[in-house]
Amino acid sequence: MAQPPENPLAKKLHIKTFGCQMNQYDSERMAEALAPEGYALTGDAAEADLVILNTCHIREKAAEKVYSELGRVRLAKERRRREGRDTLIAVAGCVAQAEGQEIMARAPAVDIVVGPQSYHRLAALVAEALASGKGVVATDFPAEDKFAHLPERSPGKRRPSAFVTVQEGCDKFCTFCVVPYTRGAEYSRAPSEIIEEAERLGAQGAREITLLGQNVNAYHGAGPNGSPWTLARLLRRLAQVPSIARLRYTTSHPLDMDEELISLFADEPKLMPYLHLPFQSGSDRILKAMNRRNTAADYEAVIAKVRKARPDIALSTDIIVGFPGETDRDFEATMALAARARLAQAFTFKYSARPGTPAAGFPDQVPEAAKHERLRALQSLIDGQRRAFDRAMIGRRLPVLFEGKGRKPGQIAGRSPYLQPVYVEGSEAHVGQIAPVDILAASPNSLNGVMKSGFEWREPVQAAE
């Protein structure tokens, strides 16, 4: 059979994303920004004309991954060059922001270095690199609003669960964290822009929207008449978008969990009962050294209020072990807080000294062996809690949003309100639907059940204000 002629203008783009959900969102928007230039996505880096590595700088391990990946991409570039084809390599994201020009010194095959606040200029940077044959670096924080310069979310079918960045950057300067340096000062997008994006995503098939921000609950967008919008107000407004059935937000800081936001867990049925609220350490001494500006008791007071508003809430957190100066006693306080918090999920990290952050220069860095031992003990506590939380679902009927294929043929996968992956037997026609599932079993990282098909579970739609 004759092959359709290849479009000579069509170019291939491969994006590899490291790190957090905001990077995933940024990667989607970069692909959409390059589509009008003729770039179509490919899963295969070896056949790409442009390879973008969207990088993470949060811990040393994440940052180092970029260089091993760059080694692989360079080999592909050399292979393609021998075949007479060129490949542009771009490093985007937080390593690009943190290291800038240095990346090119360490990895000369790189053509473009673009920070997270400059990727709306990507098409121009690609053109510049192609025309000049020289490396280009864009890591300043431009005065213009990146979101206003990005093309609208492109048409096409969406996955049932979508991200929308609503807030970026951070002014809190925890002493271990690179975010204030890589993502810059705290910035909130305008509510009108976010509502429009959510409506568009909903019209394209998204049923669930997760609002993203490094400090999402510090969101303070300016309404049309300049009136301030809190995250709670934004969520209430987004709940009125009929096609959107579920809302989530991440990541929050305990200091910014105000009463209005907490009460939404009781009042807004579309807001899912899941809260990711990092506490980092259970020791007040360490929290102070981290510049977290809250105590362990403050955190517990917040989660008590959240539980009162929504008793079935699934709580998730981030915890760092081995922060400089952390003693066995401090670590015991972390273990004790984790035990009292009854977590459904937790992300645990060994402290990693990051260049340019205050804690990297603190005395009393904790030896690797102690970090390792503490992480192991904490993870085993958390695993037990997570399993208990998952096992408590057995025998319950949960509304599951189906997102795609399962692990076996004939199986589909979705998420419970508590963000647990749920596997059932069923046809892919259910993808994008919310259906009731009777939970029969809990394995270490997922639930299995039986779909009660025949009707769709509809969360009540709020009346317009």
59 binds, among ligand 5AD, ligand SF4, none (CB under 5 to 8 A by kind): ligand 5AD
Which stretch, 24-32, 98-106, 348-356, 400-408, contacts ligand 5AD (CB under 6 A)? Answer: 348-356
User: Least distance in Å: CB of 176 to ligand 5AD?
Assistant: 4
175 binds, among ligand SF4, ligand 5AD, none (CB under 5 to 8 A by kind): none
Please report, as residue ranges, which positions from 43 to 62 form the binding site for ligand 5AD (by CB under 6 A): 58-59
C-alpha–C-alpha distance, residues 411 and 405, integer Å = 6
Which stretch, 257-265, 336-344, 346-354, 381-389, contacts ligand 5AD (CB under 6 A)? Answer: 346-354
Residue 451: beta bridge partners? 437
In the bound state with ligand SF4, the residue whose beta carbon lies nearer, of 47 and 60, is: 60
Q: DSSP labels for 290-340?
A: TT----HHHHHHHHHHHHHH-TTPEEEEEEEE--TT--HHHHHHHHHHHHH
Helix (H, G, I), strand (E, B), or coil: what is residue 368? helix
Angle ∠(353,359,365) on CA atoms, nearest 5? 65
Which residue of the chain is nearest ligand 5AD when measured via CB? Answer: 318
Chain residues in the site for ligand SF4 (CB under 6 A): 170, 172-174, 177, 179-180, 214-215, 253
Taking residues 168 to 187 in sequence order and writing x for each that binds ligand 5AD by CB under 6 A, - otherwise, the string is --------xx----------
User: Least distance in Å: CB of 168 to ligand 5AD?
Assistant: 14
Count of other CB atoms within 10 angstroms of residue 267 = 14
C-alpha–C-alpha distance, residues 156 and 203, integer Å = 10
In the bound state with ligand SF4, the residue whose beta carbon lies nearer, of 294 and 420, is: 294
Tokens of 221: 């967008």
Which residue in the set 351, 389, 402, 423 belongs to the binding site for ligand 5AD (CB under 6 A)? 351
**51, 236, 261 from 233: Cα distances, Å:** 39, 5, 9
Count of other CB atoms within 10 angstroms of residue 20 = 19
At a CB cut-off of 8 Å and minimum separation 6, what does 125 contact?
90, 112, 114, 118, 136, 138
User: Least distance in Å: CB of 212 to ligand 5AD?
Assistant: 12
**13, 100, 133 from 87: Cα distances, Å:** 10, 20, 11
User: Least distance in Å: CB of 357 to ligand SF4?
Assistant: 9
In the bound state with ligand SF4, the residue whose beta carbon lies nearer, of 16 and 285, is: 285
Which residue in the set 158, 207, 270, 354 belongs to the binding site for ligand 5AD (CB under 6 A)? 354
Query: Which residues bind to ligand 5AD, rule: CB under 6 A?
Result: 58-59, 176-177, 278, 280, 318, 320, 349, 351-352, 354
